[in-house]
Amino acid sequence: MPDHNKQKQGKVAGILSGIRNIFGLNIGTVLFGVLLIYMLFSAALYLTSQNIESYQVITGPLSRNETYTGLAIREEKAYQADSNGYVTYYAREGNKINANGAVYGISSTKIPESKTELSQEDLSRIRSDMLSFSKGFNPSKFNNTYSFKYQLEGSILQYAGAISDPLSSLQPVSTLGNQTICKAPADGIVLYCKDGYEGKSISSITEDDFDQNSYHETDLKTEKPVKAGEDIYTLITDERWSLLIPLSGKQAAKLADRTSIRVKFLKDGMTQSGDFSIIEIGGSKYGQIDFNKGLIRYATDRFLEIELVTNTVNGLKIPLSSIVTKEFYTIPSEFSALNEESQELGFMMEARDKNGERTTIFKNVSIYAKGEQPGKGKTEDSAEEPSYLYYVDKSEFKEGDAIINQENQGKYIIGDVGVLEGVYCINKGYAVFRRIQILDQNEEYAIVSKSTSYGLARYDHIVRNADAVKEEDILY
């Protein structure tokens, strides 16, 4: 019998030894096995559970405003050279010039360099102009250097006495040596270009005028001699101007009730308002935007990229799929109480002391919202303050709890509920209800107020698919 037991023990030892040889049973193998089981369990749990998506709250409008290409129409006229000769430009392109201000000079021969003595005061003004230009210089707009050159030459010419005070004479020309100085016939903005739209009005515009592929602008600045009658500059004589934008039927219907509109110019990001109307050109709808200022910024542009600022509701942007509703107990505001020590708003709740006697205790709670109590709003004949309903989290009370009015000892039994909209905020890793007030919405997103009590803030993280989460669920 003992021999038999020894044989049996020897077989068991042999089996264990074989297992050790196969699996290498040691502490490392045990730890690896436990880790493998944990990973398999985690993977199965992840694959079988519903994936929770996070969304970071951002600010902005509900949707982007539509952009258009506008055709600029203004009161402008091209002027021609009075005689043959070489041109010297004195007015800065795109800048305003007074009536009788020097625009250009023309002579039968090229003007040789000459010395002109200026007073110290004149030199100081020129240095000041140069300093201002230097400070505002933008390398991406190097062409402004040439415009400044013309302005500087005009200033020097005026300081040298070739140009009189604009109010002292209305003669269109004067002379300086063998050079005839040509002056502006009216106040306006000088351009040294021409594109064929000069003299056109809203009533004379056709659909072909909106074709940018066939648009051509001619540069009138030249170092070669010009002939009498050739176009030499353009003068815009009215600060009032218009932009025409093509509209689809849907866009025209959307804008039909507007009489004014705010425009953002994509060229420089500036915005301004203008009068708006819809007109027909060749059977198609066009928007006409009339401005009475700002022309000097865009005097050199015939076509302008603009954005109509129609989506003015701005706030926190959230997906509609994040919105949930939650029930709250509603308590009339006349049952509220103020803690004299902490100055906190709460309620006096009926309770029992250790001896079983009735007493009242102050209950400090979070009030998520207040709304007018139906049928108890303030009237014109009433001097009393309107009564509100306070929305209190249901975890603060139990149904049937009694609230005491301190003034008249009236009693209110907790039980009525109201519903608020909100989202689940997950900044701390678990779902917390945050109240929202919707300002606007479309099929996918809503714009909510930034200043809602117990609400959201920019960069908060919320649950995108709120139907997959319950309040206080631990998500990570």
Distance CA 289, CA 287 (A): 6
Q: How confident is the model at residue 170 (pLDDT cuts 50, 70, 90)?
A: very low
Bridging pattern class, strands 345-352 and 402-404: antiparallel
Residue 75 has pLDDT above 60, yes or no: yes
Q: How confident is the model at residue 279 (pLDDT cuts 50, 70, 90)?
A: very high
Q: How confident is the model at residue 179 (pLDDT cuts 50, 70, 90)?
A: confident
Q: How confident is the model at residue 29 (pLDDT cuts 50, 70, 90)?
A: confident
- Contact yes or no for 376/387 (Cβ under 8 A): yes
User: What's the token pair of residue 409?
Assistant: 């000892």
User: What's the token pair of residue 377?
Assistant: 């709003």
Axis-axis angle for helices 143-159, 120-135 (nearest 10): 170
Distance CA 194, CA 230 (A): 12
Residue 247 has pLDDT above 90, yes or no: yes
What is the model's pLDDT at position 169?
39
Q: What are the backbone angles phi and psi of residue 29, rounded to the nearest 5°?
A: -65, -40
Rounded to 5°, angle at Cα 193 from 189 and 194: 105
Mean pLDDT estimate for the chain: 82
Q: Report the share of the chain in percent with pLDDT over 90.
A: 41
Give me the residues paired with residue 424 across strands: 433
Distance CA 95, CA 20 (A): 94
What is the model's pLDDT at position 382?
45
Q: Which is higher by pLDDT, 51 or 309?
A: 309
- Contact yes or no for 245/68 (Cβ under 8 A): yes
User: What's the token pair of residue 343?
Assistant: 């100055």
Distance CA 197, CA 397 (A): 76
Of 200, 202, 216, whose CA–CA distance to 245 is shortest?
202
pLDDT tens string 250-278: 999 989 999 999 999 998 889 999 999 99
Give me the residues paired with residue 182 across strands: 104, 173
Distance CA 444, CA 442 (A): 6
Q: How confident is the model at residue 351 (pLDDT cuts 50, 70, 90)?
A: confident
Task: Give me the DSSP letters along 408-435.
Answer: T--EEES--EEEEEEEEE-TTSB-EEEE
User: What's the token pair of residue 324?
Assistant: 């949930």
Q: How confident is the model at residue 108 (pLDDT cuts 50, 70, 90)?
A: confident
pLDDT tens string 293-347: 999 999 989 999 999 988 778 899 999 999 999 999 999 989 988 887 878 888 9
Q: How many CA atoms lie within 13 A of 466 on its CB side?
A: 22
Q: Report the share of the chain in percent with pLDDT over 70.
A: 80
Q: How confident is the model at residue 156 (pLDDT cuts 50, 70, 90)?
A: low
Q: Residues, the chain, total?
A: 476
Of 449, 377, 391, whose CA–CA distance to 420 is shortest?
391
What is the model's pLDDT at position 163?
45
pTM: 0.57
What is the model's pLDDT at position 8?
55
Distance CA 457, CA 316 (A): 8
Average pLDDT of 435-452? 90
Average pLDDT of 152-168? 53
What is the model's pLDDT at position 166?
38
Q: Which of 33-47, 105-119, 255-269 has the lowest mean pLDDT?
A: 105-119
- Contact yes or no for 326/283 (Cβ under 8 A): no
Q: How confident is the model at residue 366 (pLDDT cuts 50, 70, 90)?
A: confident
3-state secondary structure of 286: strand
Distance CA 187, CA 323 (A): 60
Average pLDDT of 139-160? 62
Give how far Cα 338 sits from Cα of 15, 54, 346, 373, Å: 79, 39, 6, 20
Residue 200 has pLDDT above 70, yes or no: yes
Q: What are the backbone angles phi and psi of residue 58, rounded to the nearest 5°?
A: -125, 170
Residue 23 has pLDDT above 90, yes or no: no
Residue 158 has pLDDT above 50, yes or no: yes
Beta strands in 141-224 (DSSP E): 173-176, 179-183, 188-191, 193-194, 218-219
Q: Which of 121-125, 214-218, 307-311, 448-452 has the lowest mean pLDDT?
A: 121-125
Distance CA 339, CA 360 (A): 13
Q: How confident is the model at residue 146 (pLDDT cuts 50, 70, 90)?
A: low
Residue 431 has pLDDT above 50, yes or no: yes
Q: How confident is the model at residue 92 (pLDDT cuts 50, 70, 90)?
A: confident
* 398 CB burial (10 A radius; 0-12, 13-18, 19+): exposed
pLDDT tens string 379-394: 444 445 667 899 999 9
Distance CA 153, CA 156 (A): 5
Residue 211 has pLDDT above 50, yes or no: yes
User: What's the token pair of residue 247?
Assistant: 């509209």
Distance CA 375, CA 239 (A): 57
Distance CA 138, CA 173 (A): 35
